[in-house]
Amino acid sequence: MTDFPPPSDRPKAANLAALRLFRPVLFAVGAIGVTLGALILIHHPASQAPPAPATVANVVLPDPEPAPPLTTADFKGFHLKLPDTTAEAEQPASDRYELTLRLEQGDTVEKLLADIAVPEADRKQINEALQALLKKRKLAIGEALALVIQTLADQPDAPRVLSLSVRPQPEQEFTVTRKDDGAYAGEEKTYKVSPRIVRVEAEIQGSLQQSGVHGGAPVAAMNEFIKALSYDVDFQRELKAGQHFTVLLEQSVTSDGKVTHQGRLLAGELRLLKRTATVVRFRPLNGADQFYNAQGESVMRSFLRTPMDASHITSHFGMREHPILGFSAMHTGVDFGAPMGTPILAAGAGKVTMAGPNAGYGIFVKLQHTQQIGTGYGHMSRLGPGIRPGATVRQGQVIGFVGSTGMSTGPHLHYEFYRDGHPVNPLAQKFALRAALAGKDLGRFQGLTRSYLNEMKSAPHVAETVAPPPEPKPRNPVKPQLAGGG
């Protein structure tokens, strides 16, 4: 049994992820404050504006050519966007600018417009047109409103809103636009969403999960990758820093390039010291999505590799000198040394056929998994909860605890594996016991695997397709103090 990710890495990864998640939020919160503060100062130079934070004194309006350039057209940041310099030749002094503001705690669209001194009549109309579009939906705190503002020469203190857009979901945008007659009209735009295949290629630094997330893979996809590998890879022993891995992700992208889903794991490859572990997502006919190895065998074993966490083999299957009886005898199972009380897990799903004292085996449990296959567990200190003859068990369920009952020299698990009632070597069985694809499914799988393996080398790297830090778009109230707690 291997667990994932190594427990010691889990909190660290979570903290890092949280930090990374909240860093843009912190930045955004600061930036909103600064921007609003600056705007208030600009528009009400002598007003009784709330005491401005000390930082406002240092505000420098952003450079017209901020570095590094944000390539995505949709990222407007929190800055005043100065007019396009090429247009200036025809229009001597552009009176328009774009502005992105975010809703704050307790904020409304009307209040936000009032804060930038939009005249009351316009505010009302804009809000009505927007509410008609949103119907009953409420905009989340932190939602970005993209505004195009015009400053009139004769009314410099009453900016005119030419348009206001909000995009609560990447595939859906609501825009309120000012018409020639001065009235505001709303429009809803829907963007088509289609899949895009990208890859994350990286080296292991820290945990596998952390390394993938750092490379741009979503946490959920890395967790799936790790889980799919965990049946085959012993993370404690086989995973080393510097090992190379690739994951292939299917993102959902709108027709104008916004990512609505960060990526579902399609396939992945992990290069270990002596071999490469490959997992491929596939849905067989009449089946559910599952991961398979490159040979088309399900990654999930019908049986666990070892029926315990943290154990080591102390005696193999076969002839040996019996430690108590003192003569040569067949050892009909494998012994795993483990501390007293270590939970023993059902190697596979099945039915309990024996549970209790059994001569030299001590407290013993026998499970029947299929008509042919059974397993046995000896020398337990006690039975697991609910374990009695006739009970059904799931794979990985605790059926008892390590002890030294019966003919035993110290705490260990004596594990037996039966085929048609005869003990066989448990460690020699594992590969025969996977579900494998066959027939049409196998043909389809092989075609898909070939194309995935190609795309793991040729698909665009996730970093090439994703905009710089993603725009923080909280769906729930942003509580800045959360960020401080991490």
Which residues of the shown chain bind Zn ion in the complex (CB under 5 A)? 333, 335, 414
Closest residue to Zn ion in the complex (CB): 414
Q: Which is nearer to Zn ion, 5 or 400 (CB)?
A: 400
Please, what is the minimum distance in Å from the beta carbon of residue 329 to Zn ion? 11
Nearer to Zn ion by Cβ, of 142 and 333: the residue is: 333
Instruction: Please give the Cα distance from 407 to 412 (Å, whole number).
Output: 11
Query: Least distance (Å) from Zn ion to the CB of residue 311?
Result: 13
Minimum CB–partner distance for residue 409 and Zn ion (Å): 10
Two tokens at 111?
């209040």
Cα–Cα distance between 154 and 413 in angstroms, integer? 89
Report angle CA 66, 70, 72 to the nearest 5 degrees.
Answer: 150
Residue by residue, what is the 3-state secondary structure of 203-257?
Answer: ECCCCHHHHHHHCCCCHHHHHHHHHHHHCCCCHHHHCCCCCEEEEEEEEEEECCC
Tokens of 30: 């600061």
Q: What are phi and psi of 229, to 5 degrees?
A: -75, -25
If you search the block for the tokens 């599952």, which residue do you land on? 290
Complex with Zn ion: residue 209 or 405, whichever CB lies closer: 405
Residues 266 and 250: beta-carbon distance below 8 Å: yes
3-state secondary structure of 377: strand
Task: Say which DSSP state 180 is in.
Answer: T
333: helix, coil or strand? coil
Q: Minimum distance between the CB of residue 365 and Zn ion, rounded to whole angstroms?
A: 14
- Cα 383 from Cα 175, distance rounded (Å): 65
Q: How far is the CB of 332 from Zn ion (least distance, A)?
A: 8
21 is written with which tokens?
């998640």
Residue 269 phi/psi, 5-degree rounding, is -140, 130
Nearest-approach distance from CB 414 to Zn ion, in angstroms: 3
CB of 331: closest distance to Zn ion in angstroms? 6
Nearer to Zn ion, 5 or 333 (CB): 333
In whole angstroms, the minimum distance from the beta carbon of 431 to Zn ion comes to 23
Question: Cβ 333 to Zn ion, closest distance in Å?
Answer: 5
Identify the residue whose tokens are 């735009």. 189
Residue 440: strand, helix, or coil: helix
Q: In the Cβ-directed half-sphere of 319, how many Cα atoms lie within 13 Å? A: 2
- Token output for 95: 């009176």
Q: Which residue has the tokens 């741009």?
A: 216
Question: With respect to Zn ion, which residue has the nearer C-beta, 357 or 447?
Answer: 357
- Closer CB to Zn ion, residue 147 or residue 413? 413
CB of 415 to Zn ion, least distance (A): 8
Nearer to Zn ion, 292 or 361 (CB): 361
Closer residue to Zn ion in complex, CB, 242/326: 326
Nearer to Zn ion, 4 or 361 (CB): 361
- Which residue number, 199 or 331, has a Cβ lying nearer to Zn ion? 331
Task: Say how far apart CA 228 and CA 185 lie, in whole Å.
Answer: 51
8 Å CB contact between 330 and 340: no
